[in-house]
Structure 1
Amino acid sequence: MKKIKGFLMLALAAVGALLTACDDELDVKQAYAFHLETMPVQTRIVRGETAEIRCTLVREGAYDGARYTIRYFQPDGKGELRMDDGTLFLPNDRYLLTKEVFRLYYTSRSDDRQVIDVYIEDNMGQITQNSFSFQNEREEEEQSSES
């Protein structure tokens, strides 16, 4: 009788462990890797000129709740960055990215070398960065005439 009671207790414990280990919820992947692809971008620019940056957000998977934001920082030079819908970006402010294929327009506001860093971040905290560097054409012309 003690053997049967011990066996039943062991069987109930095993069944209980199996039932609690099962989960009816699906394991949904929400964070997929992504990166920003761009067409080649001009590297020479003069004050007042605008360079077009054609962008595609490439995602390794799709999650319906995924949201992406865009922001930029300019460590060198002065300029303005706009989205193809006309939105003028302020440095380090986040803007909702509503499409995967878009264009950015960078307008030079200085005669110096200019660099902009563009960051795309998803709502899972993953970030990708692209840097763009522009040389002032007049600066290069002056250097070649001095040679």
Structure 2
Amino acid sequence: MKNIINTAKIQLKCFLLLFVIGLFLQSCEKDDLEIQQNYPFKVSVMPVPKDIAKDEYVEIRIKIIPEGNFADTKYYLRYFQFEGAGKLQYYNTQPYFPNDIYPLYEKEFRLYYTSTSEVSQSFTVWFSDSFGNEEKIEFQFNNKKLNG
């Protein structure tokens, strides 16, 4: 009788072990794996001056901070100037055209805005990623001549 009980216990343990292994293997199937690729992000901008004179430039230090990391995520920039006139550019490249989309190759970089007018200036920069997430930053500069 003792042998029958011991055999039953061993069989039950083997059954439970096979059941657990089956669950583990099933959870590891390729179709069931979900790899997250889409991570929202925030944009950090260092403070910039409030006033700018014609032909003067302002350095804008920017950092894109994603909530997670997926190596193939691409980031883009576009801007639109809705008041005044000026040029926005990445380091010393050609100035950006309003509403065109430009790829960003780094998550931490500097833009340079150069005033070309003697009035207040305002523009918006949109940052987006390859998954459709988007952040908007607005910049406003007063003209130095207007403020004394």
Q: Would you call these one fold, judging by a TM-score over 0.5? A: yes
1:62 corresponding residue in structure 2: 69
Which structure 2 residue ranges, 5 or more long, are not aligned? 1-25
SS of the residue 1:55 aligns to: strand
Residue 24 of structure 1 is aligned with which of 27, 30, 34? Answer: 30
Could you say which structure has the larger radius of gyration?
Answer: 2
- Whole-angstrom CA distance in 2 between matches of 1:88 and 1:65: 27
Query: What are the superposed Cα offsets for residues 38-84 of structure 1, whole Å, 9 maximum, x if unpaired?
Result: 11101100100000001111111011221111111111110000101
- Taking the TM superposition and a 5 Å limit, the aligned residue runs for 1:6-21 are none
2:147 corresponding residue in structure 1: 140
Which shifted more, 129-138 or 85-94? Answer: 85-94
User: How many angstroms does 1:86 deviate by?
Assistant: 1.8
Which shifted more, 24-33 or 105-114? Answer: 24-33
- Taking the TM superposition and a 5 Å limit, the aligned residue runs for 1:30-41 are 30-41=37-48
2:87 corresponding residue in structure 1: 80
Residue 78 of structure 2 is aligned with which of 54, 71, 75? Answer: 71
Residue 126 of structure 2 is aligned with which of 105, 119, 123? Answer: 119
| TM-score under structure 2 length normalisation | 0.77
Moved over 6 A (4+): none
2:57 corresponding residue in structure 1: 50
- Whole-angstrom CA distance in 2 between matches of 1:42 and 1:132: 10
User: How many angstroms does 1:24 deviate by?
Assistant: 2.7
Amino acid of the structure 2 residue aligned with 1:130? I
1:108 corresponding residue in structure 2: 115
Measured on the aligned residues, the alpha-carbon RMSD in Å equals: 1.7
Identity %: 35
